[in-house]
Amino acid sequence: MFSLPLTLLLPLLALCPSISNARPSHPRHKDATTGVGSMMLTDMSRSDPFAKDGRPRSIMVSSFFPVSNCLQRTSIPYMPPGTGKFIDEKFGAYGLPNGTFREFTIEVCGKLSKHAQCPPGGWPLVLFSGALGTSRHLYNIMLQNVAARGYLVVSIDHPYDADIVEFTNGTIIHGVDIGSDAEIELALDARVSDIIFAQNQLRKRSVADKLFPGHLQNGRLPKVAVFGHSLGGAAAAAAMSKSTDLLGGANLDGTFFGPVVTDGLDRPFMLIGHENKTRETDPSWDAIWPHLHGWKKQYEVKETAHYSFSDLPFVAFASGIQDLLPVEVEGLLGRMNGERVMKLTTSYVVAFLDMFLKSEAEGAFQKLGKKFSEVVEVV
Ligand SMILES: *[C@@H]1O[C@H](CO)[C@@H](O)[C@H](O)[C@H]1NC(C)=O
Ligand SMILES: *[C@@H]1O[C@H](CO)[C@@H](O)[C@H](O)[C@H]1NC(C)=O
Ligand SMILES: *[C@@H]1O[C@H](CO)[C@@H](O)[C@H](O)[C@H]1NC(C)=O
């Protein structure tokens, strides 16, 4: 059994200051941890575009939030049982031992203190969308780490697009084949609607109280940003072009699709690519770049591959099997140590979010550049 050493990974915030009237300080607080939640959300205004039987679109979301004074920490399964079994079988093909995902645990706050509650307008909100055919649970650790730095985080599973979505009531929806341009467009549109729907649901007290107990009140949302991995990164950009509530976004290693490529964006946007994924090798990155009119940066991360920007390398590292995997797995997970790439990804994402959601200095990127020599800014 492995418990996530959150305190080793990142400095944590001790308090919940209001962003609007105070810049958060960043004291180290070794007892801090994160709370988590999950729930099903149903959009009665939209039928599911994949189910094709007129049923309303239902999604599953997870939440992660900072907890300053946790009364009791607890280890919970990394993913629900049906998902764990499915993912174990899927990654068994890459040489990961059966049970790696089913038995993996993460440490969370199991009992919140009443005094840990935040004032309205407390932490900013960040929405996350993962890769095509990839469960949202494969980003739980990354998103816990982002939350620990003072963010309310929501991750979204897009049913029929994700390889598996396990609903709270036990129903499992498996992914369908999405490959043609038309199918990708359909999936992208569904993702954008899911993202905007999830954001708006947080204005409902029943949803806010379940996902972020004590953090969101009176139907008001704090500042919001969105980021994603792979098709989720494309969805982040597309959602920003649909909703001006989304103040900034980041794309981790995803090819862009849809009108946003030529329409562009006027708010901050960051691109992070794996080794050799740049504007030179991805035409969609080259095409959107001149149309990004807000703050923008593009980074190439040496020694990484497409799934470096998920929990997979960290899970392999923490399970003690990263060095035992077949060499072909490098094409999926990259060569970098799983703990290091986890730190790298969360540090860059948090530096980006801090800059425009918490008015932190852009200088953080220079400091990170000294720490992570694998990262090359592509100008
Ligand atoms: C993995 O373990 C589960 C539970 O013991 C078992 O049902 C399943 O058949 C195993 N899968 C493989 C590929 O060995
Ligand atoms: C569980 O929830 C899903 C998604 O909303 C729904 O399609 C399904 O019918 C539900 N299953 C049961 C047994 O209620
Ligand atoms: C990236 O490109 C360089 C130069 O062409 C090459 O040596 C290297 O193997 C490539 N890396 C990957 C992961 O494809």
What are the tens digits of pLDDT across the range 109-144?
Answer: 998 877 655 645 589 999 999 999 999 999 999 999
Number of domains making up the chain: 1
Alpha-helical (H) ranges within 202-226 are 205-211
What are the tens digits of pLDDT across the range 51-101?
Answer: 999 999 999 999 999 998 788 999 999 999 999 999 999 999 888 899 999
Reduced to 3 states, what is the DSSP secondary structure of residue 18? coil
- Point out the least confidently predicted range of 209-213, 230-234, 287-291: 209-213
344 falls within a domain = yes
What's residue 155's pLDDT? Answer: 98
What's residue 17's pLDDT? Answer: 37
Place of tokens 């470096």: 308
Q: Which domain holds residue 336?
A: 40-58+118-377
Sign of CA dihedral 283, 251, 44, 187: positive
Domain CATH for 200: 3.40.50.1820
What are the tens digits of pLDDT across the range 213-266?
Answer: 888 877 789 999 999 999 999 999 999 999 999 999 999 999 999 999 999 999
DSSP state of 292: B
- Is any atom of ligand 2 closer than 6 Å to the C-beta of 281? no
If you count them, how many residues does the chain have? 379
Main-chain phi, psi angles of 223, to 5 degrees: -65, 145
DSSP state of 97: P
312 falls within a domain = yes
Task: Identify which of 96, 109, 59, 100 has the alpha carbon closest to the alpha carbon of residue 79.
Answer: 100
What's residue 328's pLDDT? Answer: 87
238 falls within a domain = yes
- Is any atom of ligand 1 closer than 6 Å to the C-beta of 98? yes
CA angle centred on 50, ends 44 and 53, rounded to 5° = 65
What's residue 20's pLDDT? Answer: 34
Q: Please say if the pLDDT value at position 362 is more than 50.
A: yes
347 falls within a domain = yes
296 - beta bridge partners?
Answer: 269
What's residue 146's pLDDT? Answer: 96
244 falls within a domain = yes
- The Cα-based distances of 137 to 28, 63, 105, 196 in angstroms read 27, 11, 12, 20
Beta carbons within 10 angstroms of residue 290's beta carbon? 9
Reduced to 3 states, what is the DSSP secondary structure of residue 249? strand
What are the tens digits of pLDDT across the range 183-209?
Answer: 999 999 999 999 999 999 999 999 999
Alpha carbons 354 and 361: distance in angstroms, whole number: 8
103 falls within a domain = no
What's residue 32's pLDDT? Answer: 54
Place of tokens 């409902």: 204
Determine which residue's CA is closest to atom 7 belonging to ligand 1.
85
15 falls within a domain = no
Task: Identify which of 212, 193, 219, 204 has the alpha carbon closest to the alpha carbon of residue 125.
Answer: 212
10 falls within a domain = no
Ligand 1: atom nearest CA of 98 is: 1
Q: Which ligand is closest in space to the CA of residue 273?
A: 3
Reduced to 3 states, what is the DSSP secondary structure of residue 140? helix
What separation in Å is there between the alpha carbon of 312 and the centre of ligand 3?
22
The answer to whether residues 34 and 66 touch, using CB atoms and an 8 Å cutoff, is yes
- Max intra-chain CA distance, the chain: 54
- Is any atom of ligand 3 closer than 6 Å to the C-beta of 275? yes
CA angle centred on 184, ends 234 and 43, rounded to 5° = 80
Q: Which residues contact 59 (CB under 8 A, 6 or more apart)?
A: 40, 41, 42, 43, 156, 157, 158, 159, 165, 194, 197, 198
